[in-house]
């Protein structure tokens, strides 16, 4: 019971400040590969992230109550539209109740692939929003806690670099 209350409270207190930190993923990160991320579709079906092998995977961890999460969504949508013909998949993961995510999805006009995160604590996500970017081999190449303007030239360059590394 304590864990169920403590971790969401910790995330609320430690996040949503809108602070942006560039932080390339390091080998000391708890998450080293995409296989560590456990996701389900909103119909409760498990997602096998191996289906995206060969693609860059952009996972944004968010919550319906997190203002910085909501503020960065338009820039993610623009980025997703810019890269729609590229070898990248965008996933929007929340550990909130499935019906809460579904309700949010219906109220918004974003064409996002919303999913349910099953293992927030195991991933050691300390703040929302947090974004992970995995290369085509499923290796974590970038992680960042805090909001960002995702369609900025520097963000586009970052993602393009990860996608280009996939092609080498």
Instruction: Tell me: pLDDT of 168 over 80.
Output: no
Three-class secondary structure of residue 93 per DSSP: strand
Q: How many CA atoms lie within 13 A of 162 on its CB side?
A: 29
Instruction: Tell me: pLDDT of 142 over 50.
Output: yes
* Between 19 and 89, the higher pLDDT residue: 89
| Cβ atoms of 145 and 130 closer than 8 Å | yes
CATH number of 2-167: 3.40.30.10
Instruction: Tell me: pLDDT of 18 over 50.
Output: no
pTM: 0.82
């Amino acid at each position: 019971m304590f864990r169920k209350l403590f971790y969401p409270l910790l995330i609320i207190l430690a996040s949503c400040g809108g602070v942006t930190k560039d932080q390339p993923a390091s080998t000391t990160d708890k998450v080293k590969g995409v296989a560590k991320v456990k996701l389900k579709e909103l119909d409760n079906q498990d997602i096998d992230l191996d289906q995206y092998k060969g693609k860059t995977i952009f996972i944004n961890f968010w919550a319906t109550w997190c203002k910085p999460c909501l503020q960065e969504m338009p820039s993610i949508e623009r980025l997703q539209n810019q890269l729609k013909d590229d070898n990248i998949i965008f996933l929007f993961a929340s550990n909130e109740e499935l019906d809460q995510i579904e309700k949010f999805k219906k109220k918004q006009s974003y064409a996002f692939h919303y999913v349910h995160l099953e293992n927030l604590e195991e991933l050691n996500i300390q703040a929302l929003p947090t974004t992970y970017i995995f290369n085509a081999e499923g290796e974590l190449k970038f992680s960042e806690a805090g909001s960002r303007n995702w369609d900025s030239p520097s963000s586009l360059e970052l993602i393009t670099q990860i996608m280009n590394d996939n092609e080498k």
